[in-house]
Amino acid sequence: MKNYPFTAIVGQDKMKKALIVNGINPKIGGVLIQGEKGTAKSTAVRALADVLADTSVVNLPVSATEDRVVGTLDMEHILKTGEKRLESGILAKADQNILYVDEVNLLEDHLVDILLDAAAMGVNRIEREGVSYEHPSRFVLVGTMNPEEGTLRPQLLDRFGLCVDVASEKNVEERMEVVRRRLDFEQDQQQFEERYVQAQNQLSKQIQQAQILLPTVEISDRLIGIVADLSIELGIESHRADITVITTAQTLAAWKQRTAVQLEDIYEAAELALPHRLIQDPINDTSSSEALAMILQNKVVEHQ
Amino acid sequence: MNRLIGQMKAKRGIAAAMIHPYLDRICIAGAIGTGKTTLLEAAAQYFSKEETVILPAHVTTEKLLGEKDITLLLQDEKKNVTDSPLYQAKVVVTDQFALMPASNQHMLVQLLKNKDIPHDNNVGSIASPRTAKWFYCLNQNIQDKQLFQYAKLCVQLLPIFEEAERREAIQSSADKKYELRKEEIEEAKQRLPAVQVSKAMLRLAVEVVLGSGCNNQEADIDLVETARALAALDADESVQQWHVEEAAGYVLAHRMGELSEASVTEEIEQQSEQEYTASESQNNKEHSAEEGAVNNDKPENITTGESIEKEASQNEQKETGGKEEETEQIVAALKVQSELLFTKRNDRLSGFQGKHQENNQLGGNGRMIRAVMKPTETLSLHHTLSAAAPYMKIREPRKGMAWAIEKEDMRFKLKEKQQGFTILFLVDASRSIAAKKQMQVVKGAVMELLRQAYQKRDRVGLVSFRKTEVIEELPFTNKFAEAKSKLRDIPTGGKTPLAAGLKKALTLCEKERRSHHQAVPYLVLLTDGNANETLKPGGTAAQARSEAYHMARKIAAASFPVSVIDTQSGRNRFGLAEELAAVLDGEYISLDVLTDQAIARTIQNKLHPLANYK
């Protein structure tokens, strides 16, 4: 079965942008996509791998066993030969790839612990059953969740570099277009893919160019100061927030074929990197991302 | 399928799913004894035995993911990796889906949805064929309506109230006329690719979905595809309005419950009204623009054919007038169906079904705590080999094996899931105390605890008692959003039926203990301890007191941890709550200043140091 082409997804620009910057620069630290069912979350994640070179999507099921995730002894090998051998788990497969957790808020507790460990160090250490072994496990963590089904542990939440909210489309015409494309895709995948082959190629080329450009992107001290100020103003404690904003802004600059970060990059990055780090009042209804958008809007106006 | 009398609607739904490969998750809903399983069996008969996978409710996580069979004691060297049963399955059937542990439910759905199953051959994951269809049965009266959401199609079986049909159902003669034969389905499958969807029908479908208040965009596609399958079944060349209408019943009714239950109807009405006005004005604009351009336009490639465009424009002209009414009609019909699915007719039943909600047995998935001799689901190879090691010199290994392992060496993994507490608030909402303000405080405390509930794995519930009634305001939950909507309005005032409140609390706690073997229910009672209403309303205050104490002793005998928070403060304390706490064998907490934070903190401090010692 073929994946639905990334460029054929209607709308959801913010989600697409967040995924692309992560594809360009894995150091951003992944993305958490929050939203209702049926908003092309999974489709977008799966499609992303097609426009990135040498990357695949490794799926982590929410109730997988610890053995499967971390890796365990290869029993068959031991019994046949008497030698110890490790059978690698999902974390080994995820190295240099995208680790995708659907419904990440339902991830079992013991798996969250493992994931936090590996994500923090970029290394999967196996210390169990008489095995001591470690292997690199640097992955782009992409999670999707429906916030109505429960929230995420704060440690894990902070681990995601970016966070985007997606909502379903309310416009009839747009929705019709979504259905139409999907119908065409189901009808003849080959033909459908051909229609988007040019757009797909262009996108992967742009991503590759951005990857080359990225190490040369510079950011002025003034802009770093602005990032710090913003965090202080919003009452964000995590320093990871600042670093993520800056990294994302650099990546965005590279994406736009520039070698210097501009103020608009900072605000664009902040919009992606900060919403889930704001302190949310549990009783108050206004969503933190809305509040953030307002503050950022005011800033933009100020600077003009 | 002919053994099912009547239920034409359900049969057509199943047939549609059979015809279209895209419609792959089907739920069969109905009350007890309406023939769910029979329908399921009938559906499975369309496939060969090898292609069908029947998953029992107790299927283990390892089995779902595919596991390695270890033949420690056998000698043959054949390949002993067992793939997941889902691998290359054409049909997956789970009759008792509701009885599966929640974690396995999630995983099964994910595996089916993502179409890839982690596969043990170091090549990576292998996508299972796209045709895997999943049928599951749900009893209409189940508590957790969330389970409906996994289905693309949901067919409902209705009880039959016509005598003739009912008689027929009892006799159930197998040689009646075949209604939907295998060949018919096959033929319809052939016709499917040619079935067209006109632009007008596409618009109608999207509008119906929007009108139903369903936000899920997947529903749009499912609806159109189902309508196409139905058209193929009827040997129609293009989708007609009644197909969309019929399909909506299968695709949308069960999704409408995704809205918060309490306000379903209200919201739908509001929303749909808005949508109508919005789409109406839009329609008018676009129509005028389109009609001019239609013939010159490139074909909008709705499906393969080109003639449809012309047809569509004709249809459109005809149908623009009646469009809003049609949508409205369909949505109204949907509401009825949805209500059938989502009304709780039998609250009485929830008791015995509740305990199946989650199965926390040892073994299965979780963190390993130690190795044991008693067989559990997974073998611990490391411990087994260690146990066998001392005997290696004197034992003779079996053929093809490097190790000599005997049955007595086997060690198994004992696993444990981290388990939180269940906290039940029992709140006095009577007049005798400043109930309204107090209720605010309690709600605050509940929300505060829930906010931490995910991390701590706690679940919180709330029961209030006043006048002559005891109300379960919030069934045990760890979902913040759900709790928030349920706790909005709790009335206060009236007498204090303390005994009835305690009785309810005892029932709930016992039920909870039975269903979650490891969960410890913890009861928090907020009261001034003054009982003045008996179990049967109308008794004297003295009777009320003795009854309450009698109940309290029962709770103490069941040895649930209890805390009594005194709502009286300062000097005018009667000491009644303190007395009650003593009878309950619980702890008395006097909070001079009652605040939500203080309560939440006190409870957390009580529970979680304790949790560490467990």
Minimum-distance CB partner of B118 among A66, A76, A90? A90
Residues 279 through 298 of chain B touching chain A, CB cutoff 8 Å? 279, 282, 286
Residue B508: other Cβ atoms inside 10 A: 20
The burial of A235, by beta-carbon neighbours within 10 Å (0-12 exposed, 13-18 middle, 19 or more buried), is given as exposed
How close B211 comes to chain A (CA, Å)?
11
Determine the pLDDT at residue B169. Answer: 58
Contact residues on chain B for A143, CB-CB shorter than 8 A? none
User: For residues B562 and B542, what is the distance between their CA atoms, to the nearest angstrom?
Assistant: 24
In a domain, B246, yes or no: yes
pLDDT band at B260 (very low <50, low <70, confident <90, very high): very low
In a domain, B572, yes or no: yes
Taking CA atoms, A103 is separated from A43, B113, B128, B137, B457, in Å, by 14, 12, 21, 23, 17
Domain, as residue range, for A274:
215-303
In a domain, A181, yes or no: no
Q: Please say if A240 is a catalytic residue.
A: yes
Contacts 24+ apart (CB under 8 A), A169-176: A169/A10, A169/A11, A169/B217, A170/B210, A172/B203, A172/B206, A172/B207, A172/B210, A172/B279, A172/B282, A173/B282, A173/B286, A174/A10, A174/A11, A175/B206, A175/B209, A175/B210, A175/B217, A175/B220, A176/B199, A176/B202, A176/B203, A176/B206
Provide the CATH number for the domain around residue B252: 1.10.8.80
Size of interface A-B (CB pairs under 8 A): 179
Q: Contact B103/A81, CB-based, under 8 Å?
A: no
In a domain, B522, yes or no: yes
Bridge-based pairing of strands A57-59 and B421-428 is unpaired
pLDDT band at A248 (very low <50, low <70, confident <90, very high): very high
Q: Contact A282/B124, CB-based, under 8 Å?
A: no
Tokens encoding B608: 């979680």
| pLDDT over threshold 70, residue B179 | no
Of B18, B420, B328, B402, nearest in space to B189 by CA: B18
Q: Contact B480/A168, CB-based, under 8 Å?
A: no
Residue A196: other Cβ atoms inside 10 A: 17
Average predicted confidence (pLDDT) for chain B: 68
pLDDT band at B494 (very low <50, low <70, confident <90, very high): confident
Measured between CA atoms, the residue of chain A closest to residue B363 is A65
Choice among A129-133, B2-6, B534-538 with the minimum mean pLDDT:
B2-6
Minimum-distance CB partner of A39 among B61, B217, B444? B217
Contact residues on chain A for B400, CB-CB shorter than 8 A? 80
Q: Contact B106/A106, CB-based, under 8 Å?
A: yes
In a domain, A188, yes or no: no
Question: Looking at the 3D structure of chain A, how many domains does it have?
Answer: 2
User: For residues A42 and B144, what is the distance between their CA atoms, to the nearest angstrom?
Assistant: 25
Same domain, A136 and A228: no
State whether residue B495 is helix, strand or coil.
coil
Cβ proximity of B96 and B44 under 8 Å: no
Same domain, B608 and B550: yes
Same domain, B197 and B337: yes
As a whole number of Å, the CA-based R_g of chain B is 30
Give A160-182 as a DSSP string. -SEEEEE-----HHHHHHHHHHH
| pLDDT over threshold 70, residue A256 | yes
pLDDT band at B321 (very low <50, low <70, confident <90, very high): very low
How close A278 comes to chain B (CA, Å)?
15
Minimum-distance CB partner of B481 among A67, A93, A148? A148
How close B129 comes to chain A (CA, Å)?
8
Measured between CA atoms, the residue of chain A closest to residue B152 is A38
Q: From the centroid of its chain, how far is CA B290?
A: 44
CB contact B461 to A (< 8 Å): no
Determine the pLDDT at residue B68. Answer: 57
Tokens encoding B441: 């405080």
| pLDDT over threshold 50, residue B175 | no
Query: 3-state secondary structure string, B134-202?
Result: EEEEEECCCCCHHHHHHCCEEEEECCCCCHHHHHHHHHCCCCCCCCCCHHHHHHHHHHHHHCECCHHHH
Same domain, B431 and B412: no
Minimum-distance CB partner of A64 among B65, B367, B479? B65
Same domain, B500 and B598: yes
Determine the pLDDT at residue B342. Answer: 57
CB contact B488 to A (< 8 Å): no
User: For residues A23 and A249, what is the distance between their CA atoms, to the nearest angstrom?
Assistant: 14
Same domain, B339 and B239: yes
User: For residues B369 and B384, what is the distance between their CA atoms, to the nearest angstrom?
Assistant: 15
Determine the pLDDT at residue B295. Answer: 39
Contact residues on chain B for A71, CB-CB shorter than 8 A? none
Choice among A38-52, A80-94, B422-436, B490-504 with the minimum mean pLDDT:
B422-436
Same domain, A89 and A231: no
Residues 6+ apart with CB under 8 A from B345: B141
CB contact B380 to A (< 8 Å): yes
Cβ proximity of B328 and B243 under 8 Å: no
For the stretch B69-94, pLDDT in tens is: 555 544 444 444 555 666 667 778 88
Contact residues on chain A for B387, CB-CB shorter than 8 A? none
Contact residues on chain B for A178, CB-CB shorter than 8 A? 217, 220-221
Minimum-distance CB partner of B216 among A36, A87, A151? A36
Contact residues on chain A for B220, CB-CB shorter than 8 A? 175, 178-179
Same domain, A10 and A158: yes
Of B327, B131, B343, B138, nearest in space to B248 by CA: B327
Residue B517: other Cβ atoms inside 10 A: 12
Same domain, B426 and B406: no
Domain, as residue range, for B270:
191-344
User: For residues B120 and B515, what is the distance between their CA atoms, to the nearest angstrom?
Assistant: 35
Measured between CA atoms, the residue of chain A closest to residue B389 is A82
In a domain, A173, yes or no: no
Residue at a domain's end among B177, B201, B225: B177
Q: Contact A282/B225, CB-based, under 8 Å?
A: no
- Tell me the Ramachandran region of residue B116: left when phi exceeds 0, alpha when psi lies from -120 to 50, beta otherwise: beta
Same domain, B549 and B588: yes
| pLDDT over threshold 80, residue B205 | yes
Q: Which position has the higher pLDDT, B226 or B445? A: B226
Contact residues on chain B for A62, CB-CB shorter than 8 A? 103, 106-107, 110
Q: Contact B22/A186, CB-based, under 8 Å?
A: yes
pLDDT band at B122 (very low <50, low <70, confident <90, very high): very low
CB contact B189 to A (< 8 Å): no
**Mean pLDDT within B28-51:** 76
Same domain, B266 and B158: no
Contact residues on chain A for B80, CB-CB shorter than 8 A? 76
CB contact B73 to A (< 8 Å): no
Beta bridge partners, A58, equal A99
Of A84, A89, A61, nearest in space to A74 by CA: A84
Same domain, B333 and B374: no
ipTM for the assembly: 0.76
Same domain, B409 and B489: no
Same domain, A124 and A32: yes
How close A272 comes to chain B (CA, Å)?
24
Minimum-distance CB partner of A108 among B303, B365, B480? B365
Phi, psi of A32 (to 5 degrees): -105, 125
How close A62 comes to chain B (CA, Å)?
6
Q: Which position has the higher pLDDT, B54 or A14? A: A14
Whose structure tokens read 């909507």? B485
Bridge-based pairing of strands B25-30 and A98-101 is unpaired
In a domain, B562, yes or no: yes
Provide the CATH number for the domain around residue A96: 3.40.50.300
Contact residues on chain B for A188, CB-CB shorter than 8 A? 304
Q: Contact A65/B65, CB-based, under 8 Å?
A: yes
In a domain, A88, yes or no: yes
Beta bridge partners, B562, equal B523
Provide the CATH number for the domain around residue A277: 1.10.8.80
Task: Please work out, in degrees rounded to the nearest 5, the angle formed at the alpha carbon of residue A104 by the alpha carbons of B359 and B412.
Answer: 45
Tokens encoding B180: 């939907």
In a domain, A208, yes or no: no
Question: Looking at the 3D structure of chain B, how many domains does it have?
Answer: 4
Active-site option among A128, A175, A240, A258: A240
Minimum-distance CB partner of B110 among A40, A62, A65? A62
In a domain, A197, yes or no: no
Cβ proximity of B64 and B53 under 8 Å: no
Q: Contact B70/A66, CB-based, under 8 Å?
A: no
Whose structure tokens read 């989600």? A15
Same domain, A77 and A152: yes
Minimum-distance CB partner of B115 among A1, A61, A62? A1
Contact residues on chain B for A154, CB-CB shorter than 8 A? 455
| pLDDT over threshold 80, residue A16 | yes
The burial of B393, by beta-carbon neighbours within 10 Å (0-12 exposed, 13-18 middle, 19 or more buried), is given as exposed
For the stretch B539-579, pLDDT in tens is: 777 888 888 888 888 888 877 788 887 776 655 566 777 78
pLDDT band at B299 (very low <50, low <70, confident <90, very high): very low
Residue B505: other Cβ atoms inside 10 A: 26
* 3-state class percentages of chain A: helix first, strand second, coil last, to nearest 5: 60, 15, 30
Tokens encoding A7: 């460029």
Provide the CATH number for the domain around residue B563: 3.40.50.410
Beta bridge partners, B477, equal B460
CB contact B574 to A (< 8 Å): no
Residues 104 through 143 of chain B touching chain A, CB cutoff 8 Å? 104, 106-107, 110-111, 113-116, 118, 120, 122, 124-125, 127, 130
Taking CA atoms, B102 is separated from A113, B108, B516, in Å, by 20, 10, 13
Same domain, B105 and B246: no
Angle between helices B8-19 and B241-251 (to 10 degrees): 90
* 3-state class percentages of chain B: helix first, strand second, coil last, to nearest 5: 50, 15, 40
| pLDDT over threshold 50, residue B190 | yes
CB contact B224 to A (< 8 Å): yes
Contact residues on chain A for B279, CB-CB shorter than 8 A? 172
In a domain, A31, yes or no: yes
Q: Among residues of chain B, what percentage have pLDDT more than 70? A: 60
Q: Contact A183/B210, CB-based, under 8 Å?
A: no
Q: Contact B215/A38, CB-based, under 8 Å?
A: yes
In a domain, A199, yes or no: no
The DSSP symbol for B124 reads -
pLDDT band at A251 (very low <50, low <70, confident <90, very high): very high
In a domain, B361, yes or no: no
Q: Which position has the higher pLDDT, B514 or A172? A: A172
Residue at a domain's end among A166, A194, A224: A166
Task: Please work out, in degrees rounded to the nearest 5, the angle formed at the alpha carbon of residue B480 by the alpha carbons of B558 and B112.
Answer: 95
Determine the pLDDT at residue B160. Answer: 65
Whose structure tokens read 């009485």? B348
Choice among A128-137, A233-242, B122-131, B226-235 with the minimum mean pLDDT:
B122-131
Average predicted confidence (pLDDT) for chain A: 81
Measured between CA atoms, the residue of chain A closest to residue B216 is A38
Contact residues on chain A for B111, CB-CB shorter than 8 A? 61
Provide the CATH number for the domain around residue B105: 3.40.50.300
User: For residues A253 and B162, what is the distance between their CA atoms, to the nearest angstrom?
Assistant: 71
Minimum-distance CB partner of B127 among A1, A78, A105? A1
Residue at a domain's end among B329, B344, B359: B344
Tokens encoding A255: 């994406």
Choice among A203-207, A222-226, B398-402, B424-428 with the minimum mean pLDDT:
B398-402
In a domain, B186, yes or no: no
User: For residues B403 and A82, what is the distance between their CA atoms, to the nearest angstrom?
Assistant: 7
Cβ proximity of B572 and B420 under 8 Å: no
Same domain, B433 and B458: yes
In a domain, B362, yes or no: no
Q: Which position has the higher pLDDT, B362 or B112? A: B112
